[in-house]
Chains A and B, each alone.
Chain A
Amino acid sequence: MGFYNFVFSIPFAFLTLGYFWNRRGHFMFSQAVILNLLLLVVYLGHMITYLVVLGSIAFIAVIYFISQWRSLHGNSHQQHVTSLSISLLSLMPTLSILVSYYLNSNSPIAFFTLIPGTSPTYSNNSLQCVFWSVIKATARESSAL
């Protein structure tokens, strides 16, 4: 069930990275809130995309911090450290959702599970019946290849 989600998570990944890149040197709490909302959308899209974005943001934040460190003076240093700290801390909320989900859940990623002893039955002309026919036909074709 990942294809549509993966595909749709990619534009949000670009938006998130672009948003962070524009604000990487002066990252504040209000921007961290927006970044977290964007990260949440990417996380709810696809885990791989989310992890790539998360790693990219951490990498950009650290590299930018190192590259700017020597050229800064006085109060700029403190502001720079604050910006890096907020950048890295802002990655924690969505990361904690991911970690907590995977530590506490043994079941596969699915919105619903079949109640034991039941099976879905659909009337012949229902939409669900059409869906199931297509799904089964696709599975048959895939296994035949």
Chain B
Amino acid sequence: MHFNFHRQHPDWLVISLILLYLIPIWIFQYLPTQDGPSHLNNAQILSQYTNPAYNFQNIYDLRLEPFPNWLSYACLAVLMRIFPPLFAEKIFLSLYVIVFPLAFIYFLGAINPAKKPLGLFSFVLSIIISS
């Protein structure tokens, strides 16, 4: 049995689910994460390290080594140079909500294009992973 992803599960269904998933991120001021503030705190230090107003240089030694776990802090630090921290966190998590299903559908399409409808499970998977 072969599915045509674009005929039976059109793009608008994926887009609609992405928009649905974005709603809780944007309608509440705070996100109910366990260590979200900790991430924002670290990213804020990284973002404002050279800013004399924060005095971080006299308190922390910065380590710019290529160890894992850089990704979110680098993204958040860049975003926090432009946006307020809570807004930056919302943008960052929105990127996750957008990129996750698209990456999963791309992966399934690479393995077997007929399996692309299974990409809709990525919406369940993304919640399970991030909860």
Residues of A within 8 A of B (CB): 1-5, 7-12, 14-15, 17-19, 21-22, 41, 43-47, 50, 97-98, 101, 105, 107, 109-115, 118-120, 127-128, 130-132, 134-135, 138
Interface residue count on the B side (C-beta < 8 Å): 52
A128 to B74, CA, bound (A): 18
Name the one of A98, A105, A138 contacting B34, with C-beta atoms under 8 angstroms: A138
Interchain residue pairs A-B with the least CB separation, the first 8: A11-B103, A18-B110, A112-B60, A131-B41, A4-B72, A18-B107, A14-B107, A134-B37
Please tell me if the beta carbons of B68 and A4 are within 8 angstroms of each other in the complex: no
Please tell me if the beta carbons of B110 and A12 are within 8 angstroms of each other in the complex: no
Do A12 and B44 contact each other (CB < 8 Å), given the known contacts A44-B71, A47-B68? no
- The reply to whether the CB of B42 lies closer than 8 angstroms to some CB of chain A is yes
Name the one of B41, B92, B104, B106 contacting A128, with C-beta atoms under 8 angstroms: B41
Interface residues of B in 58-72 (CB under 8 A from A): 58-72
> Of all chain A residues, which has the CB nearest B110?
A18
Interface residues of B in 1-40 (CB under 8 A from A): 33-40
Please tell me if the beta carbons of A4 and B92 are within 8 angstroms of each other in the complex: yes
- Chain B residues near A134 (CB-CB < 8 A): 37
A141 to B70, CA, bound (A): 27
Number of A-B contacts (CB under 8 A): 150
Most B CB within 10 A of own CB, among A21, A41, A128, A130 = A128
Residues of B within 8 A of A (CB): 33-42, 44-46, 49, 54, 56, 58-76, 85, 92, 95-96, 99-100, 102-104, 106-111, 129-130
- Between A and B, 7 residue pairs with Cβ closer than 8 Å are A1-B69, A11-B99, A14-B107, A18-B106, A44-B70, A109-B68, A138-B34
- Chain A residues near B64 (CB-CB < 8 A): 111
- Chain A residues near B59 (CB-CB < 8 A): 114-115, 118-120
